[in-house]
Amino acid sequence: KTACVTALQLLLLPMPRVDADLKLDFKDVLFRPKRSSLKSRSEVDLQRTFTFRNSKHTYNGIPIIAANMDTTGTFEMAQVLSKHTLFTAIHKHYSVEDWKNFAASHPECLEHLAASSGSSNADFEKLCSIVEAVPALKYICLDVANGYSEYFVEFVKSVRGKFPQHTIMAGNVVTGEMVEELILSGADIIKVGIGPGSVCTTRIKTGVGYPQLSAVIECADSAHGLKGHIISDGGCSCPGDVAKAFGAGADFVMMGGMLAGHDQCTGELIEKNGKKYKLFYGMSSDTAMKKYVGGVAEYRASEGRTVEVPYRGDVENTIRDVLGGLRSTCTYVGAAKLKELSRRTTFIRVTQQSSHMFT
Ligand code: 5GP
């Protein structure tokens, strides 16, 4: 009898579960080409129009976003990106005064800008001052490393309560149920991505994460079911990855590393052995922590890397490269508009993306 009870108890113990469905990253797939009537990539229209679920605001532009990292989410970046109708999530470390000056001298950029905030009281107070100081600003980006906390959900609700007409981006999460919860709490656009970033060490430090292509496919489905939108945030290392994120259903794609190392990024040029570099680092790296909060708090591990990126000059050239690649993807699958790309997408599972012969 005792043996029986012990066996029963063992059966009732919650067991770790393994979801055995295959989850994929950008590197695991390629687009299957499709017959197309498009003659040239110049015919492809990359502009998108969205009306957001909660703010009711209508957006027009090429839905690529510079990440709200202090190196890439800069006002200098916004000046170049907005000329191409690309978007910049401005990092949260600019002062209200900086915002006022920028808004006064570059009002044409404001349509494609978001002000970022974490969920602390100090962050929120600063966000309120920025929104008050820059009435033309329409987007707010609420960014925390872990979008799964109840506290964050409540925070999103209170920001929505205070700013009923602003379009709210919120994240980061990687699963459909949390996308739904954040949209129902008032967010319009959900940032998707835990661990894919070029300078992110979350997967190594915590073992938590989700392959980005699958996260995007699953989260897009949940968001679109509620008329919400998503941003694929992190993990794009080449223009083809940006196209794959759109093909997987992302409405917007956010890039950090791909925009690093340019004139428009914060930081001095570093010269070493005749070569030029710029510093790029995760927002929870030692470098960022030292810069803004005087060091990494004892209870947490740094979850970001610091790297020296080869200097790449004006970001204008990189933008052309990304947009050119994306237009070309569209012609290969017969999408006359970026809007049609995900409907025209069939991914094939691959074991190698490209030849390594000369790399
Ligand atoms: P990338 O385009 O460089 O692959 O990814 C950019 C994204 O990485 C950012 O938008 C942000 O979500 C994420 N990220 C930036 N800094 C850090 C960090 O220090 N730690 C982690 N875990 N993610 C980061």
Q: What is the number of the ligand 1 atom nearest to the C-alpha of 234? A: 5
Cα 99 to ligand 1 centre (Å): 23
CB 55 within 8 A of CB 346: no
pLDDT in tens, 28-60: 999 999 998 888 888 899 999 999 999 999 999
Q: What is the number of the ligand 1 atom nearest to the C-alpha of 255? A: 2
Mean pLDDT of 183-196: 98
Listing DSSP states for 20-89 in one string gives: -S----GGGEEEPP-------GGG-B--EEEE-TTT--EEEE--EEE-SSTTTS-HHHHHHHHHTT-EEE
pLDDT in tens, 71-127: 999 999 999 999 999 999 999 999 999 999 999 999 999 999 999 999 999 999 999
16 C-beta neighbours (distance < 10 Å), count:
4
Q: pLDDT at position 343, please?
A: 97
Q: What is the number of the ligand 1 atom nearest to the C-alpha of 260? A: 3
Q: Flag whether pLDDT at 12 surpasses 90.
A: no
Out of 71, 72, 88, 202, pick the active-site residue: 202
What is residue 97's three-state secondary structure?
A: helix
What is the amino acid identity at position 292?
A: Y
User: Who contacts 359 (Cβ-Cβ below 8 Å, separation ≥6)?
Assistant: none
Cα-based angle 260, 195, 62 (whole degrees, multiple of 5): 50
User: Who contacts 125 (Cβ-Cβ below 8 Å, separation ≥6)?
Assistant: none
Out of 200, 219, 236, 265, pick the active-site residue: 200
User: 284 labelled as ligand-binding?
Assistant: yes
pLDDT in tens, 259-272: 999 999 999 899 99
Q: Which of 200, 233, 262, 300 to mutate to test the pocket of ligand 1 (most atoms within 8 A of CB)?
A: 200
Identify the weakest region by mean pLDDT among 36-45, 293-302, 312-321.
Answer: 293-302
265 counts as catalytic: no
Q: Flag whether pLDDT at 173 surpasses 70.
A: yes
pLDDT in tens, 55-79: 999 999 999 999 999 999 999 999 9
Mean pLDDT of 272-294: 93
200 counts as catalytic: yes
User: 344 labelled as ligand-binding?
Assistant: no
User: Residue with the nearest Cα to atom 22 of ligand 1?
Assistant: 200
Cα 251 to ligand 1 centre (Å): 19
CA 304, CA 284: separation in Å to the nearest integer? 5
Cα 119 to ligand 1 centre (Å): 17
List residues near ligand 1 (CB under 6 A): 67, 69, 145, 172, 193, 197-200, 202, 233-236, 254-258, 282-285, 303-304
Q: What is the number of the ligand 1 atom nearest to the C-alpha of 89? A: 10
Q: What is the mean pLDDT of the chain?
A: 95
189 vs 295, higher pLDDT = 189
Extended beta strands in 220-311, E state? 229-233, 252-255, 269-272, 275-281, 306-310
- pLDDT band per the 50, 70, 90 thresholds, residue 5: low
Extended beta strands in 207-256, E state? 229-233, 252-255
- pLDDT band per the 50, 70, 90 thresholds, residue 144: very high
Cα 257 to ligand 1 centre (Å): 8
Q: pLDDT at position 300, please?
A: 65
User: 195 labelled as ligand-binding?
Assistant: yes
Q: What is the number of the ligand 1 atom nearest to the C-alpha of 285? A: 19
Q: pLDDT at position 298, please?
A: 67
Q: Flag whether pLDDT at 24 surpasses 80.
A: yes
User: 235 labelled as ligand-binding?
Assistant: yes
Q: Flag whether pLDDT at 328 surpasses 90.
A: yes
User: 74 labelled as ligand-binding?
Assistant: no
CB 192 within 8 A of CB 176: no
Relative to beta strand 58-61, strand 48-51 is antiparallel
Identify the weakest region by mean pLDDT among 8-17, 180-189, 211-220, 340-349.
Answer: 8-17
User: Who contacts 357 (Cβ-Cβ below 8 Å, separation ≥6)?
Assistant: none
Cα 283 to ligand 1 centre (Å): 7
Burial of 202 (0-12, 13-18, 19+ CB in 10 A): buried
Cα 28 to ligand 1 centre (Å): 21
CA 34, CA 334: separation in Å to the nearest integer? 6
